Every structure is written in C-alpha cells, then in structure tokens.
Amino acid sequence: MKKVQLILSVGLCVFGGVLLIAGFCCPPVGEIHHSVLIAFGEILTFSGSLIGIDYHYRYRE
C-alpha cells in the first residue's frame, strides 16, 4: 500500500502539471475549453499533494 500511495501521489501531481501546461499552450482545436483543463489540472495537483503529504507523515523513516 505504501508504494501504491507514493506512485499515485507522484502520478497525480505530474499529470495535473501536464494538464496545467497544456491548458496554457494548446489553441482551442478541440471542444474542451482551456479553463476545464486548468481546473482539472489544479484538482489533480492538489489531490496528489494531499496524498503525498499523508504519505510523508504516515511513513516517516
């Protein structure tokens, strides 16, 4: 469980960051508005950071 939580935390933070960058860089080619990408990226980044903080304090070595 410890390793899964760490991988999930890092994955959410990285994917959220990628969506944040994509929201600023991509022209509106598709139907998804850039504000949706930015909001979803912020949610994923926040979730990943919360899981990472929980991991840090739960499994402190």
Q: What is the DSSP string of the chain?
A: -HHHHHHHHHHHHHHHHHHHHHHHH--S-SSS-HHHHHHHHHHHHHHHHHHHHHHHHHS--
Tens of pLDDT, residues 17-35: 787 777 677 776 656 677 7
Q: Does 43 score more than 80 pLDDT?
A: yes
Which pLDDT score, from 0 to 100, does residue 31 have? 60
Which pLDDT score, from 0 to 100, does residue 35 have? 77
Does 48 or 29 have the greater pLDDT score? 48
Tens of pLDDT, residues 1-20: 678 877 887 887 788 778 77
